[in-house]
Amino acid sequence: MKHLNRASLVIFLGILSFAASAQDNTVRSQDYNYVGRQGQWYFSWGYNEEWYTHSDIHVSQPTLGNDYSFKNVFAEDKVGWDHDFFHTPISIPQYNYRLGHWFKDDWAIEINFDHAKYQVEPEQLLHVKGTMDHKPIDTFFVNNGTLVYQLNNGANFFLFNLVHRIQVPHANFKFFNASLLLKGGVGFMYPHTQNTIYGHDNDQGFQFGGLDIGGEADLRMTFFKYVYLEYCNKLIFTDYWGLHVYDGVARQHFGTYEMIANIGVNVPLAHPERHRKQHTQS
């Protein structure tokens, strides 16, 4: 799947070049203004893949006399379609939604949700440091089930973004448009926590998880005014706290890099030619 995502940029750029070359080059970009116009809405669904920074998982269990951290833990995503593409249900993999509204030409607000899976790599050298059973601890060991920790029904990033559209030069035609979208926003997480720590299972389930901040750059290619494909790169920082563990809570923060492929639709509320004339006259 990683090779597929790396290839997606090349494929999308190929589509862009082909579509642009197929148009009448005598028609100038400013003749068509149907993307990112005030009053439009858009919606997309897509698939994402993540890479996470190493992080500390701090565990607090006061009634057990525990207050320690697993240091510099490595985690990975769970792509879902790496071996069983078109056989795994569409709701299982790492998917995402976007719903946006252009409140001004080339400026939009957006609700941005990523269902990203986070799981600690099971076979790694763990360093635990702090207090356990009221006694100091500072030791290394190979993880053989001591820490089973995942946000497996989603780390679930929500962002409320401000979006700005930049027209790609010489890529605005009657039936095709290429734009660069820059996004930034803040939000929260609503993860599904599931973990086993030193043989004790938590009461797994969804919960409020903390706050996040992120930025995104997208190449959006619109076909026939209403349907578009996107290739996206995203950075997000998350600060989780109060995550449910056995008889206590956990806290951690980490950074995430995402590659995303989306398919979406535009919902215009005004005829593009009428809007173009009004925009030109004003």
Q: How confident is the model at residue 25, as a pLDDT?
A: 42
Q: Is the pLDDT of residue 157 over 70?
A: yes
Q: Which residue has the higher pLDDT, 27 or 96?
A: 96
Tell me what the pLDDT averaged over the chain comes to.
Answer: 86
Confidence at 173, pLDDT banded by 50, 70, 90: very high
pTM score of the predicted model: 0.82
Q: How confident is the model at residue 274, as a pLDDT?
A: 52
Q: What is the mean pLDDT of residues 200-225?
A: 96
Confidence at 133, pLDDT banded by 50, 70, 90: very high
Q: What is the mean pLDDT of residues 104-132?
A: 95
Q: Is the pLDDT of residue 28 over 70?
A: no
Is the separation of the CB atoms in 80 and 112 below 8 Å?
Answer: no
Confidence at 27, pLDDT banded by 50, 70, 90: very low
Is the separation of the CB atoms in 235 and 25 below 8 Å?
Answer: no
* Domains recognised in the chain with CATH numbers: 2-281 (2.40.160.20)
Burial bucket for residue 41 (CB in 10 Å: 0-12, 13-18, 19+): middle
Q: Is the pLDDT of residue 279 over 80?
A: no
Q: What is the mean pLDDT of residues 48-59?
A: 96
Confidence at 8, pLDDT banded by 50, 70, 90: low
Q: Is the pLDDT of residue 4 over 60?
A: no
Q: What is the mean pLDDT of residues 95-111?
A: 96
Q: Is the pLDDT of residue 231 over 90?
A: yes
Confidence at 81, pLDDT banded by 50, 70, 90: low
The share of the chain scoring above pLDDT 70, in percent, equals: 80
